[in-house]
Amino acid sequence: GAGVSQTPSNKVTEKGKYVELRCDPISGHTALYWYRQSLGQGPEFLIYFQGTGAADDSGLPNDRFFAVRPEGSVSTLKIQRTERGDSAVYLCASSFGGGANYGYTFGSGTRLTVV
């Protein structure tokens, strides 16, 4: 696609529920990143895929968070047993290569609200 697409743009869920956030990167971009942005803060790294595999998942806060990219294109971020502290904007980015030197192209984000 022309840009990084994230769906849904907004998601409201009840505490304890399971949510899935989807990211469709730019066609041909091999690297895909998930970041989380809380109000008044900069993006915080969660996980980075090179192709189908997670190259670095050191930013995932706990085992309630999981992400997949089974075919090396679309990725899904999965959050189990959501908590109010999970409320944030979840950003997806992609880049042509695997290093940060390429810079990121970001999507518009999914705003997750846990009530």
Q: CB 105 → other proteins: shortest distance, Å?
A: 7
Measured from the CB of residue 79, what is the shortest distance to other proteins in angstroms? 19
Give contact residues for other proteins (rule: CB under 8 A): 4, 31, 33, 35, 40-45, 48, 50, 55-56, 58-59, 91, 93, 98-101, 103-109
User: Which residue, 68 or 98, is less far from other proteins as judged by CB?
Assistant: 98
Taking a C-beta distance cutoff of 8 angstroms, is the pair 77, 21 a contact?
yes
Smallest CA-to-CA distance from 69 within 105, 103, 34 is with: 34
- Cα distances (Å, whole numbers) of residue 106 to 18, 31, 88: 24, 12, 16
CB of 61 to other proteins, least distance (A): 14
Closer residue to other proteins (CB): 30 or 87: 30
Q: Which is nearer to other proteins, 14 or 41 (CB)?
A: 41
Question: Which residues on adjacent β-strands are paired with residue 20?
Answer: 78
Q: What is the largest CA-CA distance in the chain?
A: 39
Token pair of 109, please? 């984000």
